[in-house]
């Protein structure tokens, strides 16, 4: 890895969990100046007190983005979470155009594992097309294809422990689950040091199935947790019946489809190569969060 690059370093979506943590890691790593953009400036008062320049930015306002990105040299574009078809891509395209206009020298982009045309994930096309726009921009860039967050188990595991059953439509498929913390460490490292145009697969150290997860939860809870395979249709219907909006239910169900079809079965050494530290395993992550998983009412 190259030496620390010159800033300013700009992180979009800095009021979100990932963006906020990246800014913290940049400060810890001695990077500067650091600019944080967000639609919710009031949420970043603590970072502003630490010397971060906080700017208002909305990916759906291209004109405002040009001002928000002014003087930035190295830019982290954190993918938006809009699930409405096409809106995410329009937003990303506006951000890249603003980066070109601002004279940004390097872009880091958080993408998705295997976003090819055969991916069943509903928004894979947005990542695929964003990657293509980055190439067309001519700006050197680092694409971080993040696997599924291990952190998502903090929402589903308590219910599985409570009921003794883990329902999923992943079949026997596996995924290289990675923690949000490791994704943040990789993004910060790439922003500070990467200079070449490269694509990395950001994953955990192991490929984990839902059967493996049930076994881990059994060990942590001291009770038998059974993995119960269900169909994607049943999964989608169940989420909607429990109040999840159809578009969101479709997106979550498509994750299970992608796992079942092998699209997420990717595990690499890229986290360690970029940061010098191995990524956390699913077992270690859940073990560190066992108290919250097992406390009464966690489900």
Q: What is the CATH number of the domain that holds 57?
A: 3.40.50.720
Say what the pLDDT of residue 299 is.
46
Say what the pLDDT of residue 296 is.
59
Task: Indicate the number of domains in the chain.
Answer: 1
Query: Is residue 168, in this structure, part of any structural domain at all?
Result: no
Helix and strand counts by DSSP (H, E) for the chain: 13, 11
Residue 24: C-alpha distances to residues 75, 78, 276 (Å)? 15, 15, 18
Using one digit for the tens of pLDDT, what is the confidence trace for 49-106?
999 999 999 888 878 898 999 999 999 999 998 887 778 999 999 999 999 999 999 9
Q: Alpha carbon 261 to chain centroid distance?
A: 21
Query: Is residue 86, in this structure, part of any structural domain at all?
Result: yes
Identify which of 178, 24, 48, 198 has the alpha carbon closest to the alpha carbon of residue 108.
Answer: 198
Query: Is residue 27, in this structure, part of any structural domain at all?
Result: yes
Token pair recorded at residue 260: 């079942």
> What's the mean pLDDT in 187-213?
97
Percentage of the residues of the chain whose pLDDT score is greater than 90? 89
Say what the pLDDT of residue 297 is.
53
Query: Is residue 162, in this structure, part of any structural domain at all?
Result: no
Give the pLDDT band (50/70/90) at residue 224: very high
Residue 147: pLDDT over 80? yes
CA atoms of 38 and 172, how far apart (whole Å): 40
Say what the pLDDT of residue 1 is.
64
Query: Helix, strand or coil for residue 287?
Result: helix
- Domain holding 37, by residue range, is 9-146+180-201+267-278
Average pLDDT along the chain: 95
Query: Is residue 55, in this structure, part of any structural domain at all?
Result: yes
Identify which of 84, 137, 88, 139 has the alpha carbon closest to the alpha carbon of residue 112.
Answer: 88
CA atoms of 53 and 185, how far apart (whole Å): 21
Query: Is residue 158, in this structure, part of any structural domain at all?
Result: no
Query: Is residue 61, in this structure, part of any structural domain at all?
Result: yes
Query: Are 54 and 23 contacting, i.e. CB atoms less than 8 angstroms apart?
Result: no
pTM value is: 0.95
Query: Is residue 106, in this structure, part of any structural domain at all?
Result: yes
Say what the pLDDT of residue 83 is.
80
Residue 221: pLDDT over 90? yes
């Amino acid at each position: 890895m190259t030496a620390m690059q010159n800033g300013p370093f700009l992180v979009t979506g800095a009021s979100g969990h990932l963006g906020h943590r990246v800014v913290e890691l940049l400060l810890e790593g001695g990077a500067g100046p650091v600019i944080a953009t967000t639609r919710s400036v009031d949420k970043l008062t603590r970072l502003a007190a630490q010397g971060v320049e906080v700017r208002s930015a909305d990916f759906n306002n291209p004109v405002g983005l040009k001002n928000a990105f002014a003087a930035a040299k190295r830019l982290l574009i954190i993918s938006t979470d809009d699930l409405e078809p096409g809106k995410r891509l329009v937003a990303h395209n506006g951000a890249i155009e603003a980066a070109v206009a601002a004279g940004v020298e390097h872009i880091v982009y958080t993408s998705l594992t295997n976003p090819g045309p055969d991916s069943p994930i509903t928004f894979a096309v947005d990542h695929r097309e964003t990657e293509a726009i980055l190439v067309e921009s001519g700006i050197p860039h680092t694409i971080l294809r993040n696997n599924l967050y291990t952190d998502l188990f903090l929402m589903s595991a308590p219910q599985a422990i409570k009921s003794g059953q883990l329902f999923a439509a992943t079949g026997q498929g596996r995924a290289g689950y990675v923690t949000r913390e490791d994704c943040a460490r990789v993004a910060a490292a790439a922003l500070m040091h990467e200079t070449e145009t490269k694509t990395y697969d950001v994953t955990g150290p192991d490929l984990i199935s839902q059967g493996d997860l049930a076994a881990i939860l059994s060990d942590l809870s001291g009770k038998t947790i059974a993995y119960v395979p269900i169909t994607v249709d049943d999964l989608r219907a169940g989420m909607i019946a429990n109040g999840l909006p159809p578009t969101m239910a479709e997106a979550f169900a498509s994750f299970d489809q992608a796992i079942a079809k092998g699209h997420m079965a990717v595990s690499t050494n890229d986290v360690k190569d970029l940061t010098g530290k191995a990524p956390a395993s699913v077992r270690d992550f859940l073990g560190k969060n066992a108290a919250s998983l097992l406390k009464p009412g966690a489900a």
